[in-house]
Amino acid sequence: MKVKGMLVGFVAVALAASACGGGGGGSGDKPKTFTFANIEPEHLIPGNTNDSYGLSVETALFDTLMTLDSTGKPVPQDAESVTSTDQKVWTIKIKPGLTFHNGEPVTAQSFADAWNATADATNAWGGNYYLSTIDGYDDLNPDSGKPKTHTLKGLKVVDPQTLQVTLKQPFSQFPYILSYIGTAPMPKAAFTDLKAYEQKPIGNGPFMMDGSWEHNRQIKTKRYDGYKGPRPAKSAGVIFKTYASRDAAYTDLRAGNVDFDTQIPAAKVPEAKRLLGDRFLSVPSGTMDFLEFPLYDPAFKNPDLRKAISMAIDRQAIVNAVYNGTFKPSGSLLAPIVPGYRANACGDTCTYNPQAAKQLYDQAGGYKGTLHLMFSNADPTYEQWMTDVANQLKQNLGIKDITFDKVQASDYISKLVDHKGTGPYRSNWTMDYPSPEDYLTPRCSKPSRSGYDGTACEALIMKANAAKTPQEAQQYYQQAEDLVLKDLPTTPLWNWQDQAGRSSHIGDVHVDPYVTTLVHLDQVTVK
């Protein structure tokens, strides 16, 4: 079951961050530390991390085989090369001389060990699905009972610097998977006590842990002086300060008590622009919001009803009212930073047209009874924009009775997975890697949360995955997107834009939408 990329929202933590200052101390010409506003992570093991807060910390602690360049293209990081002649069997050469923070060498076995642990259903790690394309994954994830093996058949350690990976079928996007932090290596020392390891992870990145994880307070890192990879740290370390909310983090940024905040609340953006000036940063995002329909409910079987609802929503008006115009209305299932994005792939169906929407709604027979709109309580803006959607559906379609089903954030995804949606519901996708496949597969694969039969769509994705050239792959991915938008089990609403800010204590802040932290932490300098 693919359960990834769903942004559940900010989880309230028990304690707010202590109000210590921004950039850390130092003397002489030694580079200093800087602080990064964060929410309490769920995990700090790469293969078990789905939330952006844990991924932000792991971006400092770990390197992967591939990384993404400024255009979103996968390029080598720990890998010397990643090659395949048939898109199914991949040969990965690992750069020599790389070490973990404990001095242990980074080898092909380090990656194999980490991937076997991640793919093993016994561990129930959150990143499990990312390795589902590898041959032998199904043996580690049986439909019932415990797995009879704990190693992926498709992994072969040829020598200390060579890993051969055999996939279940051709997959041209595999190098993108290798750029995801969930595929980072783990040292042998980790497996002696995984619980202890998570409190003080030993990685292979430019920063290493400086003490243990101080829950609900901070995670301190320092520069790893033995680092031999391509992104050595320019500062002495980064401290991830834990906050209970985005508002609390922004308050500290404004007061100069934290150096970088990647998620300034939309309501604070006008003030932040005024106060921060050129230290305010608006960064394109890979995150999308959708309104998805429970097709397992007979009331939503008619695609014309779904299209009428989509056409009755004034996306721009909602973005202006709820997000101060910072988000961008969308007519695509993909974010604009993804190759193959088409600005209005959805066409008229995602264009606000209340007259045409009402006509189509009447032709579809309307909606009988009370319309339920469902969302989680993870963020107050969800109810705000759902309120606007409800008012527009009342006004433009004449639906009289609309009620909200606000679900506890911790229960929300499980309800959707179990097909317990009570009506159209908020759906969200956070980009794992900039490929159309990352956005389309969860819409079409079985079992889908919406109940959509994506068989035809999946067939097109499979053709794209096996394509010999990016151009050929793009053609099939776009056909798959067209099919989903025609059937409309989900309608795109808007693309997020990350609103960030930095203090005057740091420099060399290079913004990059393909980095979880929005900036390259290794390049940041402290004044």
- Residue 259 and residue 503: Cα distance in Å, rounded? 5
The arithmetic mean of pLDDT across residues 148-166, rounded, is 97
The arithmetic mean of pLDDT across residues 72-76, rounded, is 96
**Token pair 């009775």: residue:** 401
- Residue 307 and residue 303: Cα distance in Å, rounded? 6
Q: Kindly state whether residues 295 and 429 are assigned to the same domain.
A: yes
Q: Which residue has the higher pLDDT, 447 or 143?
A: 143
Q: Report the amino acid identity of residue 313.
A: I
Exposed, middle or buried by CB within 10 Å (0-12, 13-18, 19+), for 274? exposed
Task: Residue 140: give the domain boundaries.
Answer: 33-259+503-526
Q: Name, in order, each residue with C-beta under 8 angstroms of 145's C-beta and a sequence gap of 6 or more.
A: none
15 has pLDDT over 90 = no
DSSP state at residue 194:
H
Q: Kindly state whether residues 208 and 306 are assigned to the same domain.
A: no
Pick the closest to residue 345 from 440, 444, 452 (CA basis): 440
Alpha-carbon distances of 297 from 134, 359, 372, 408, 487, rounded to whole Å: 35, 23, 12, 22, 15
The arithmetic mean of pLDDT across residues 336-363, rounded, is 97
Least confident of 26-35, 268-277, 507-516: 26-35
The arithmetic mean of pLDDT across residues 317-338, rounded, is 96
Rounded to the nearest 5°, which phi and psi values hold at 321?
-75, -40
Within-domain flag for 276? no
- Residue 386 and residue 495: Cα distance in Å, rounded? 16
Asked if residue 494 lies in contact with residue 352, where contact means CB atoms within 8 angstroms, the answer is no
Q: Kindly state whether residues 315 and 380 are assigned to the same domain.
A: yes
Residues recorded for the chain: 527
- Residue 52 and residue 327: Cα distance in Å, rounded? 19
In this structure, what CATH number is given to the domain that contains residue 193?
Answer: 3.40.190.10
- Residue 177 and residue 479: Cα distance in Å, rounded? 22
In sequence order, what DSSP letters do the residues of 34-87 get, joined into one string? Answer: EEEEEEPPS--SGGG--SHHHHHHHHHH---SEEE-TTS-EEESSEEEEEESSS
Q: Name, in order, each residue with C-beta under 8 angstroms of 81's C-beta and a sequence gap of 6 or more.
A: 91, 92, 93
- For the chain, percent helix, then strand, then coil, each to nearest 5? 35, 20, 45
Within-domain flag for 144? yes
**Token pair 């992570």: residue:** 41
| pLDDT tens track for 418-455 | 999 999 999 999 898 999 999 999 899 888 899 999 99
Proportion of the chain above pLDDT 90, given as a percent: 88
Alpha helices by DSSP H, listed for 96-237, are 108-119, 137-140, 174-177, 194-199
Q: Kindly state whether residues 156 and 245 are assigned to the same domain.
A: yes
Q: Kindly tell me the sign of the dihedral angle through the C-alpha atoms of 87, 91, 97, 101.
A: positive
Q: Kindly state whether residues 322 and 294 are assigned to the same domain.
A: yes
What is the model's pLDDT at position 39?
92
Q: Kindly tell me the sign of the dihedral angle through the C-alpha atoms of 208, 199, 263, 124.
A: positive
- Residue 95 and residue 76: Cα distance in Å, rounded? 10
The arithmetic mean of pLDDT across residues 230-250, rounded, is 96
Q: Kindly state whether residues 486 and 512 are assigned to the same domain.
A: no
Tokens of 446: 């079985």
Within-domain flag for 56? yes
Asked if residue 340 lies in contact with residue 474, where contact means CB atoms within 8 angstroms, the answer is yes
Q: Which residue has the higher pLDDT, 414 or 255?
A: 255
Asked if residue 38 lies in contact with residue 258, where contact means CB atoms within 8 angstroms, the answer is no
Pick the closest to residue 78 from 187, 185, 158 (CA basis): 185
What is the model's pLDDT at position 217?
98
Within-domain flag for 28? no
Q: Name, in order, each residue with C-beta under 8 angstroms of 239's C-beta and a sequence gap of 6 or more.
A: 24, 33, 34, 35, 36, 218, 219, 220, 221
Mean pLDDT of all residues in the chain? 92
Tokens of 453: 């039969």
Helix pair 315-323, 380-397: axis angle to 10 deg: 150
Rounded to the nearest 5°, which phi and psi values hold at 369?
90, -165
Q: Report the amino acid identity of residue 79.
A: A
Q: Name, in order, each residue with C-beta under 8 angstroms of 440's C-beta and a sequence gap of 6 or more.
A: 333, 457, 461, 477, 480, 481, 484
Within-domain flag for 19? no
| pLDDT tens track for 85-113 | 999 999 999 999 999 999 999 999 999 99
The distance of Cα 310 from the centroid of its chain, to the nearest Å, equals 25
In this structure, what CATH number is given to the domain that contains residue 486?
Answer: 3.10.105.10
- Residue 241 and residue 216: Cα distance in Å, rounded? 9
Q: Kindly state whether residues 232 and 101 are assigned to the same domain.
A: yes
304 has pLDDT over 80 = yes
Exposed, middle or buried by CB within 10 Å (0-12, 13-18, 19+), for 86? exposed
pLDDT-derived band at 25 (thresholds 50, 70, 90) equals: very low
Q: Kindly state whether residues 290 and 318 are assigned to the same domain.
A: yes
Q: Kindly state whether residues 373 and 453 are assigned to the same domain.
A: yes
| pLDDT tens track for 123-140 | 999 999 899 999 999 999
What is the model's pLDDT at position 6?
35
Pick the closest to residue 136 from 109, 122, 116 (CA basis): 116
What is the model's pLDDT at position 30?
54
Within-domain flag for 91? yes
The arithmetic mean of pLDDT across residues 260-278, rounded, is 95
What is the model's pLDDT at position 18?
36
Q: Kindly state whether residues 145 and 287 are assigned to the same domain.
A: no
Q: Kindly state whether residues 473 and 456 are assigned to the same domain.
A: yes
Within-domain flag for 16? no
Pick the closest to residue 108 from 58, 140, 116 (CA basis): 116
Asked if residue 288 lies in contact with residue 495, where contact means CB atoms within 8 angstroms, the answer is yes
What is the model's pLDDT at position 330?
97
What is the model's pLDDT at position 52?
87
Within-domain flag for 23? no
- Residue 368 and residue 154: Cα distance in Å, rounded? 52
Q: Which residue has the higher pLDDT, 161 or 408?
A: 161
What is the model's pLDDT at position 432?
87
What is the model's pLDDT at position 23?
54
| pLDDT tens track for 160-204 | 999 999 999 999 999 999 999 999 999 999 999 999 999 999 999
The arithmetic mean of pLDDT across residues 202-209, rounded, is 98
Q: Kindly state whether residues 332 and 350 are assigned to the same domain.
A: yes
What is the model's pLDDT at position 378?
82
Task: State how many domains the chain has.
Answer: 2
pLDDT-derived band at 43 (thresholds 50, 70, 90) equals: very high
pLDDT-derived band at 417 (thresholds 50, 70, 90) equals: confident
Pick the closest to residue 312 from 391, 215, 244, 400 (CA basis): 391
